[in-house]
Amino acid sequence: MKRIDEETYYEILEVSPTATAKEIQMAYDHAKETFHSESLAIYSLFSEEEISKIQAAIEQAYRILMDEALRKRYDQSHFQTAGGQEWEKPSEMEGIPWEKRASLSFTDLAAHAGEEIYRGKTLRQIREKMGINLKTVSAETKINMKILEQIEEEALDRLPTLVYLKGFLKGYAHCLGLNPQKVIDGYIQFLNESKKK
């Protein structure tokens, strides 16, 4: 029973200390969805002040854990005692990868569209935070580098047609561990909004 300011960054995001960038990204998406002020799941439970505290903690945890150097420094100061002893793991959800937890035995389940929009810029930011370069994405997804660049650059006039674009977005999302539908919906919403302008 820890207060939010006593929790480790891992506990704040409910991930294990060995979580990958992909898992942290998913956990962050979940936490953001859960603790935004309009969220149904927390209705009537927290005071406004408590929510903003939690939101700030989530952002801070995400910022540190997604940065390799900062995370390393944090781990050193928090988990290794003077004698270089064992890591103290948070009791919650020890070592269960986020993806497995999220699916549990629920069939047909995936994180679903939030209010945030996955436009090209966002995708690039996430990818860079995960430390994955575009070449790797291209190799893994077999999507042409140029197309990936166009997606990220939001090159509206050069993007492939919608059917293909959806397929590419799906592959890209999978590669980053993001929810494909969420990415596709977000990107298309972004396209529609840009066209109006």
Site residues for another protein per CB under 8 A: 1-4, 14, 30-31, 33-35, 39-47, 50, 54, 92, 102, 104-106, 108-113
Shortest Å distance, C-beta 121 to another protein: 24
In the bound state with another protein, the residue whose beta carbon lies nearer, of 17 and 120, is: 17
Shortest Å distance, C-beta 159 to another protein: 27
Q: Is 89 helix (H, G, I), strand (E, B) or coil?
A: coil
- Considering only CA atoms, which of 169, 193, 191, 195 is closest in space to residue 182? 169
In the bound state with another protein, the residue whose beta carbon lies nearer, of 45 and 163, is: 45
Shortest Å distance, C-beta 5 to another protein: 10
In the bound state with another protein, the residue whose beta carbon lies nearer, of 1 and 69, is: 1
Q: What is the DSSP letter of 19?
A: -
SS (H, E, C) 123-192: HHHHHHHHCCCHHHHHHHHCCCHHHHHHHHHCCCCCCCCHHHHHHHHHHHHHHHCCCHHHHHHHHHHHHH
Angle between helices 134-141 and 162-176 (to 10 degrees): 110
Shortest Å distance, C-beta 82 to another protein: 27
In the bound state with another protein, the residue whose beta carbon lies nearer, of 81 and 103, is: 103
